[in-house]
Amino acid sequence: MNNIEVRLGQNSTEPLYQQIADNIRQLIATERLKPGDHLPTVRQLAHSLGINQNTVIRAYLKLEQEKVVISRRGGGTIVNKDKDDPSFIAARQRHLSEIVSDDIVKNLSLGYSPEEIEAAFYLHLAQWREERHAITNRPEEKPEASVNQETIRIVGSHDLALNILVELSKKHNKKVNIQVTNVGSLGGLIALQEERAHLAGIHLLDEETSEYNYPFIKRILPGREVAIVHLAYRIQGLMYIRGNPKNINGIMDLKRPDVTFVNRQKGAGTRVLFDIQIRRLGIHPHEIRGYDREMDTHLAVGTAILHGEADVALGIEAAARSCQLDFLPLFRERYDLVMPRDNYRSKLYAPLLSTIISDEFREVVNKVGGYDTSQTGTVTFL
């Protein structure tokens, strides 16, 4: 029997049974409840919440009607695990379609554009994926020793516009198979060098020239003929809890003993940018509490802040919005996709490249916020 945590909002206008159902859905969505897991009995949950048993019964009935859970006489209530049953799949698809359609109509009626709705969807979907990854503690996927020629493998820096590019490419061409591995910008270029990737997503500031990407490409891929496709300019800055309770006004505040920082991994473009900035300010890493704590994505550091595990991090504006954090903009940087010229000319990559230059991609990314797509899709050959 699972001891699950259900929280009822004292000031919520939602009925109690609806709050209970929403709590259980969230636990299932984040995989804290898994298929086959038992829910508490009606009596147990009602007692722990101090409410009438009929309220719990109503919540369980609602979840059962949606085929989220199954109640069996003598077997209790369990999270539905019959996901291969055709009738179950069809019913769930119909229910999902109805929910999405109703939400779209509601938001359109409120004056939101289709692009705004799409942008919000991708932001929240990315955040939920990060939540599930953090809770289940799944290991980060590593680049394969060799790449499958039927699959486009993108290795490099984490970016929400890149996630949107991948999803839109798949939506418009069902045959496109794309895998993304987040190992940082330097890791992406090395994977490209070792032919463990088809494309590398990078945003690397060269300290000597103050130029993005090109110096690193020339150093790590000397003599290689590559195409550099510009994805977007994006804004980097400090992310922190809404209301800024620690009164953080700049990077110098990270030296304060009451401020806890969370960092990106070595080789990440954001880590390169951060280390350059603290050197310029004369700050030593040991002066920053939390400098040695590393995470692999912008959403991971944003989620850590949201959960109270840190006060601040350097990250992109889109991630701050996704995690419902406040944001202090500091830097504008260039994010590019690097690929061998032969790949750029290959039919396999045509759907992806077509999506980059599409109006839909630009419009959705612009609605996400924190991006400049004025030069998106421009190509440079080295």
Return the pLDDT at 29.
74
Is residue 105 assigned to a domain?
Answer: no
Q: Determine the pLDDT at residue 127.
A: 67
Q: Among 79, 95, 121, which residue terminates a domain?
A: 79
Shared domain for 28 and 171, answered yes or no, is no
Q: Residue 30 is part of a domain; what is its CATH number? A: 1.10.10.10
Domain presence at residue 87: no
Position 268 scores a pLDDT of 92
- pLDDT digit string, tens, across residues 324-343: 899 999 999 999 999 999 99
pLDDT at position 121 is 76
Average pLDDT value for residue range 10-24? 84
- Express as a percent the part of the chain with pLDDT over 70: 89
pLDDT value at residue 307: 87
Same domain flag for 62 and 156 = no
Name the band, by pLDDT with cuts 50, 70 and 90, for residue 89.
low
Kindly state whether residue 266 falls inside one of the protein's structural domains: yes
pLDDT at 229: 97
Confidence of residue 132 (pLDDT cuts 50, 70, 90): low
pLDDT at residue 213 is higher than 90: yes
Residue of 153, 231, 167, 238 whose CA lies nearest to 198: 153
Looking at the predicted structure, is the pLDDT value of residue 64 above 70?
yes
Q: What is the pLDDT of residue 14?
A: 84
Band (pLDDT 50/70/90 cuts) for residue 175 is confident
186 shares its domain with 319: yes
**Are 176 and 315 contained in the same domain?**
yes
207, 348: one domain: yes
Of how many residues is the chain composed?
Answer: 382
Digit-coded pLDDT (tens) for 157-166: 999 999 999 9
- The arithmetic mean of pLDDT across residues 208-232, rounded, is 95
- Given this model, what pLDDT does residue 1 score? 46
Please tell me the predicted confidence (pLDDT) of residue 357: 96
- Residues 306, 164, single domain; the answer is yes
Q: Is 50 exceeded by the pLDDT of residue 154?
A: yes
Q: What is the pLDDT of residue 98?
A: 72
Q: Is residue 139 part of a domain?
A: no
Q: What amino acid is encoded at 341 in this protein? A: R
Inform me whether the pLDDT recorded for 52 exceeds 50: yes
pLDDT band of 137, cuts 50, 70, 90: low
Q: Give the chain's domain count.
A: 2
Collapsed DSSP state (helix, strand, coil) of residue 181: strand
Predicted local distance difference test score (pLDDT) of residue 260: 97
Segment of 126-130, 141-145, 302-306 carrying the highest mean pLDDT: 302-306
Out of 79, 101, 134, a domain closes at: 79
- Asked if residue 10 belongs to a domain, the reply is no
Distance CA 252, CA 254 (A): 5
Tell me what pLDDT residue 143 has: 52
Is residue 120 included in any domain, yes or no? no
Amino acid 36: pLDDT? 84
Strand 178-182 to 371-372 pairing:
unpaired
Q: Is 312 in contact with 249 (CB distance < 8 Å)? A: no
The CA-based angle 205-210-216, given to 5 degrees, is 45
Work out the pLDDT band at 114, boundaries 50, 70, 90: confident
DSSP three-state, residue 178: strand
Query: pLDDT at position 161, please?
Result: 94
Is 148 a residue whose pLDDT tops 60? no
Nearby residues of 76 by Cβ (< 8 Å), 6 or more positions away = 1, 38, 39, 41
Place of tokens 């019913």: 91
The pLDDT mean for the chain works out to 87
Q: Which of 55, 79, 103 is the last residue of a domain?
A: 79
Assess if residue 126 is contained within a domain: no
Residue 134 confidence (pLDDT) = 56
Identify the pLDDT of residue 92: 61
Give the pair of three-digit tokens for residue 296.
């692999």
Burial class (CB within 10 angstroms; exposed 0-12, middle 13-18, buried 19+) of 376: buried
- Kindly state the tokens that stand for 275: 């280390």
pLDDT tens per residue across span 224-282 = 999 999 999 999 999 999 999 999 999 999 999 999 999 999 989 999 999 999 999 99
CATH of the domain at 159: 3.40.190.290
Question: Which domain range does residue 313 map to?
Answer: 152-381
* Residue 54 falls inside a structural domain: yes
